[in-house]
């Protein structure tokens, strides 16, 4: 595997110390997670930051990218087929000099197909409730995460906003570290960062920790810089607790998580730990 970029703010130090926990499917007992932000190699950091296993962020080209940016787009198509036919017949009675405006028939048919879809091409389910579930369909299989809107309301709402906008469709897991994290949600397959909404404040809770399968927000060395990038823990990473915003946990697809975490990586365009073959998020939808 290629050398790993810093994950938070210092060089990669702790990978050898991090326990590997890639077991089989986890039960709901493993479903409490603290979300940490990372857009860098071993510490989730964004465009401006690099992360290391020690848990600090630095500014560097190897940092995991998240562009605190501008907009998420939704492609909506609404088709309306309207047909209006009016048949009017007017007869004049020459004998009486009167005009009988006799038969006027109007047939109006309006059909609204209501074809409105996000960029994923899939009509999403409900994202409401205290524990919404999001399905990430990837080129290596599906990952289903359950979010905690009670203990992480701001972070959950932010993630759901990007999901509903279709933002994640076509993005990749651009940083992969076996026994640490898989990070994505900010770059296209050609490693171009996507413009995002403004960043959100860091939100942590003792109820949410970085257990195996925790989903957390990546960020730069600025704690309040998370936008769209997220990571999923491949094994417990409790040294991230309190510094990164965990907001849910993986409930389906631990085998997919393990497979993605094990893919060969390389350095590309100034980023380390980039999968040699793209691992693409094809869609992200609420269930």
Higher per-residue pLDDT: 90 or 17 = 90
3-class secondary-structure state, position 229: coil
- 209-230 average pLDDT score: 98
Reference 187, options 155, 246, 230, 134; nearest CA is 230
Which residue has tokens 């469709």? 169
Sequence-distant (6+) residues with CB within 8 A of 208 are 32, 33, 34, 35, 148, 151, 152, 214, 246, 247, 248
pLDDT at 282 over 80: yes
Q: pLDDT value at position 207? A: 97
Confidence class of residue 76 from pLDDT cuts 50, 70 and 90? very low
**pTM attached to this predicted model:** 0.63
Reference 134, options 126, 17, 79; nearest CA is 126
Q: What would the CATH number be for the domain defined by 15-74+120-286?
A: 2.40.100.10
User: How confident is the model over 114-132, as pLDDT tens digits?
Assistant: 443 333 344 446 799 999 9
What is the DSSP-derived secondary structure letter of residue 66?
-
Find out whether 181 and 213 touch, Cβ atoms under 8 Å.
no
pLDDT at 253 over 50: yes
Class of residue 273 by CB neighbours under 10 A (exposed 0-12, middle 13-18, buried 19+): buried
SS3 content of the chain, % helix, strand, coil (to 5): 10, 35, 55
Sequence-distant (6+) residues with CB within 8 A of 51 are 5, 6, 7, 8, 9, 38, 39, 40, 41, 42, 43, 44, 45, 57, 58, 63, 64, 218
Tell me the domain boundaries of the chain.
15-74+120-286, 80-112
Dist. CA 162–CA 185, nearest whole Å: 9
Dist. CA 138–CA 284, nearest whole Å: 9
């Amino acid at each position: 595997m290629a050398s790993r970029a810093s994950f938070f703010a210092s060089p990669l130090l702790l990978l050898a110390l991090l326990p590997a926990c890639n077991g089989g499917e986890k039960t709901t007992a493993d479903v409490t997670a603290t979300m940490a932000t990372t857009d860098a190699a071993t510490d989730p950091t964004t465009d401006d930051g690099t992360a290391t296993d020690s848990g600090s962020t630095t500014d560097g080209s190897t940092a995991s990218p998240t562009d605190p940016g501008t907009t998420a787009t939704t492609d909506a198509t609404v088709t309306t087929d309207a047909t209006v036919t009016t048949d009017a017949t007017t007869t004049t009675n020459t004998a009486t000099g009167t005009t009988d405006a006799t038969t006027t028939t109007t047939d109006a048919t309006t059909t609204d197909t209501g074809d409105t879809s996000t960029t994923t091409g899939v009509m999403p389910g409900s994202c409401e409730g205290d524990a919404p579930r999001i399905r990430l369909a990837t080129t290596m299989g599906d990952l289903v995460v359950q979010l905690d809107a009670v203990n992480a309301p701001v972070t959950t709402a932010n993630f759901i906003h990007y999901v509903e906008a279709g933002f994640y469709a076509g993005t990749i897991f651009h940083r992969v570290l076996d026994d640490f994290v898989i990070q994505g949600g900010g770059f296209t397959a050609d490693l171009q960062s996507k413009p995002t909404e403004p960043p959100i404040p860091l939100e942590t809770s003792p109820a949410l920790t970085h257990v195996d399968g925790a989903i957390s927000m990546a960020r730069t060395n600025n704690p309040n810089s998370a936008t769209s990038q997220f990571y999923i823990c491949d094994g417990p990473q409790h040294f991230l607790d309190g510094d990164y915003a965990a907001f849910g946990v993986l409930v389906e697809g631990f085998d997919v998580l393990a497979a993605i975490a094990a893919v060969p990586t390389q350095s590309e365009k100034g980023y380390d730990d980039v999968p040699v073959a793209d691992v693409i998020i094809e869609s992200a939808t609420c269930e």
